[in-house]
């Protein structure tokens, strides 16, 4: 069976769409903020990030996805977490795989499901959405490396406000709140005013102001040393190897 994760990767598009500036803030101000975000993330060769994605649509396959990602450029990662299935997704086989661990060591992708104590190894091709490039985009930080984008495209941007946002269990940060859009979609991002890290993103804002999905980044660490052991997989005692599906 393909990995569950590939089913929800495609919803996160590149965040390079812009709207009209608010009074007191110019479009140049907003673009400069986004440029600083891109510079911060673009300089990162390795990072650690914790995030939780919440899906608002009642018929969504997933209700939420909590994950912890360690990423080392260009092609190593460790991604572990837990999914909560949507109301209509109560298949016991899927519930048994709601916890996951995926490790790519540069040559082999190891996929492990703790509840089943089963793992698979992929060496010739990646399951959908599981290449290092895909993981860099989501749930990684690669999507924020080029927020300014191609100036030849029609884009708009505006700073909505500034507000204090809880960044985790015991910390908070003052943020710029920026709205980004093109004719197809609208997003809102909360950007830490000191570090220029994205701490929250609401995707696909509708006319009612509600988002179809929201991502909260409770931990962002850029260019801090990552242990080599993070990118190695050692099967737990009694784990059963199964053929990739």
Distances 216 to 139, 171, 180 between C-alpha atoms, Å? 11, 13, 17
Distance CA 101, CA 79 (A): 6
pLDDT of residue 11: 34
Phi, psi at residue 222, to the nearest 5°?
-110, 135
The dihedral through the CA atoms of 163, 168, 172, 174 has a sign that is negative
pLDDT of residue 75: 94
Give per-residue pLDDT as tens, 170-198: 578 999 999 988 777 788 999 999 999 99
The tokens 């809102």 sit on which residue?
188
The pTM score is 0.84
Q: Go through 142-157 and write b for each residue having 16 or more CB atoms within 10 A of its CB, e for each that does not.
A: bbbbbbbbeeeeebeb
What's the distance, CA 8 to chain centroid?
11
- CATH 1.20.1080.10 given to domain 4-241: no
Is there a contact between 72 and 46 (Cβ–Cβ < 8 Å)?
Answer: yes
- For the ranges 23-27, 40-44, 54-58, 149-153, the lowest mean pLDDT is seen at 149-153
Average pLDDT (42-67) is: 89
pLDDT of residue 157: 85
pLDDT of residue 174: 95
14 pLDDT more than 50: no
Task: Look over the chain and give the mean of its residue pLDDT values, rounded to a whole number.
Answer: 83
Give per-residue pLDDT as tens, 121-175: 999 888 989 999 999 988 899 989 988 765 545 568 899 999 999 866 557 899 9
pLDDT of residue 26: 67
Higher pLDDT, 209 or 215: 215
């Amino acid at each position: 069976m393909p990995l569950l994760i590939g089913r929800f990767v495609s919803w996160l598009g590149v965040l390079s769409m812009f709207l009209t500036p608010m009074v007191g803030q110019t479009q140049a101000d907003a673009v400069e903020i986004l440029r600083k975000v891109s510079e911060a993330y673009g300089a990162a060769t390795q990072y650690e990030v914790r995030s939780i994605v919440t899906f608002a649509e009642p018929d969504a396959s997933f209700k939420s996805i909590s994950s912890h990602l360690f990423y080392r450029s260009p092609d190593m990662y460790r991604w572990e977490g837990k999914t909560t299935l949507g109301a209509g997704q109560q298949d016991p086989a899927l519930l048994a795989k709601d916890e996951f661990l995926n490790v790519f060591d540069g040559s082999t992708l190891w996929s492990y499901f703790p509840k089943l104590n089963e793992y698979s190894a992929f060496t010739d091709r990646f399951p959908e959405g599981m290449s290092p490039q895909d993981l860099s985009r989501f749930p990684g930080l690669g999507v924020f490396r080029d927020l300014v984008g191609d100036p030849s495209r029609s884009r708009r941007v505006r700073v909505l406000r500034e507000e204090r946002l809880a960044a985790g269990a015991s910390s908070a940060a003052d943020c710029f709140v920026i709205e980004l859009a093109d004719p197809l979609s609208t997003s809102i991002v909360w950007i830490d005013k000191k570090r220029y890290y994205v701490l929250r993103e609401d995707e696909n804002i509708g006319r009612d102001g509600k988002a179809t999905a929201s991502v909260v980044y409770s931990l962002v660490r850029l260019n801090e040393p990552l242990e080599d052991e993070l990118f190695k997989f050692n099967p737990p005692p009694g784990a059963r190897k199964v053929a990739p599906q």
